[in-house]
């Protein structure tokens, strides 16, 4: 049986951008904080180069504007350049006109910097949920071909638990493809299996088993994601965090890069556009009205 090619994705943002820090770090202070995203993005790019892996990088416009060398290298190394919006504002906190301006301007900025088309978008903190499905229409209208913004899990910050686990068209007669992060369905629930904090929380063999199960049982590609700050154990520590936020953010940072190296060895990986936006036999995605 031909080995499944999974999609490797990186959300290019720094430690102080995360949604869980919103009430602890003011946006107006971002430019005064020590920024590590450039260094850590290049570390990840070096690791991908060593394994001959191509990936999709969802780049925050705020980062691209200040560190264009990241964008240039992503494109030069043969990776896919995609959008993560401009300033890490959750889509649930934006009005339709604000969301449109954000995703449209960021798309143009990235295309100008990268000299290539930007086809994909991922919302901050997977913040396209049942209350703002209009955002999918906006994405299609401004020219995106796919989104990876709906997470089919139950979570305190995001998620549509009943959404399909695999790539689908969210609306009839629409061309925008939604590509969820990987989950495994067990005991009547969807369990996260595609990276982020769960990759740091769970022992590596568990993460490997979850992705292998999707490949072998569901006969489907997995979608994995990571942030550059997750490979930096020496990042500046924020004070006065609540216990849950501190646990989620700082857990096992010292182990992530080694785990990522193992993951790159254990599976086949590719770009989102090459895994999902291909023409030919086998391309068939269902429509599912949310």
Q: Angle 37-51/253-266 helices, nearest 10 degrees?
A: 30
Confidence of residue 287 (pLDDT cuts 50, 70, 90): confident
Which pTM was predicted?
0.95
The pLDDT-based confidence of 279 (bands split at 50, 70, 90) is: low
**Residue partners of 148: CB distance under 8 A and separation at least 6:** 9, 58, 120, 121, 122, 178, 179, 180, 181, 223, 272
What does the alpha-carbon distance between residue 222 and residue 8 come to, in Å, rounded to a whole number? 8
* pLDDT per residue as tens digits for the range 28-45: 999 999 999 999 999 999
Q: Which domains does the chain have, with CATH numbers?
A: 5-287 (3.20.20.370)
Tens-place pLDDT, residues 238-268: 988 999 999 999 999 999 999 999 999 999 9
User: How far apart are alpha carbons 36 and 119 in whole angstroms?
Assistant: 27
pLDDT for res 289: 77
C-alpha to C-alpha distance for 211 and 104, rounded to whole angstroms: 33
Q: What is the per-residue pLDDT across 175-192, written as a single tens digit (0 to 9) for each?
A: 899 999 999 999 888 999
The model's pLDDT over 66-85, given as tens digits with 9 standing for 90+, comes to: 999 999 999 999 999 999 99
């Amino acid at each position: 049986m031909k080995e499944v090619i999974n999609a490797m994705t990186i959300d290019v943002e720094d430690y102080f951008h995360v949604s869980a820090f919103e009430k602890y770090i003011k946006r107006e202070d971002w430019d005064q904080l020590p920024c590590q995203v450039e260094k850590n993005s290049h570390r990840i790019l070096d690791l991908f180069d060593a394994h001959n892996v191509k990936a999709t990088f969802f780049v925050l416009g705020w980062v691209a504007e200040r560190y264009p060398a990241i964008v240039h290298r992503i494109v030069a190394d043969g990776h896919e350049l995609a959008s993560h919006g401009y300033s890490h504002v959750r889509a649930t906190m934006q009005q339709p006109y604000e969301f449109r301006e954000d995703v449209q301007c960021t798309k143009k900025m990235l295309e100008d910097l990268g000299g290539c088309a930007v086809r994909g978008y991922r919302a901050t903190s997977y913040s396209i949920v049942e209350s703002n499905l209009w955002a999918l229409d906006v994405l299609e209208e401004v020219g995106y071909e796919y989104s990876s913004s709906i997470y089919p899990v139950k979570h305190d910050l995001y998620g549509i638990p009943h959404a399909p686990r695999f790539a689908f068209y969210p609306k009839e007669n629409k061309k925008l493809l939604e590509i969820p992060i990987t989950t495994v369905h067990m005991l009547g629930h969807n369990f996260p299996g595609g990276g982020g904090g769960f990759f740091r929380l769970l022992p590596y063999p568990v993460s490997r088993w979850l992705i292998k199960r999707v490949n072998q049982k569901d006969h489907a590609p997995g979608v994995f994601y990571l942030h550059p700050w997750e490979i930096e154990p020496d990042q500046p520590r924020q004070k006065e965090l609540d216990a849950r936020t501190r646990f989620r953010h700082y857990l096992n940072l010292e182990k992530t890069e080694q785990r990522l190296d193992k993951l790159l060895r254990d599976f086949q990986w590719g770009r989102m556009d090459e895994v999902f936006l291909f023409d030919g036999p086998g391309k068939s995605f269902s429509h599912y009205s949310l």
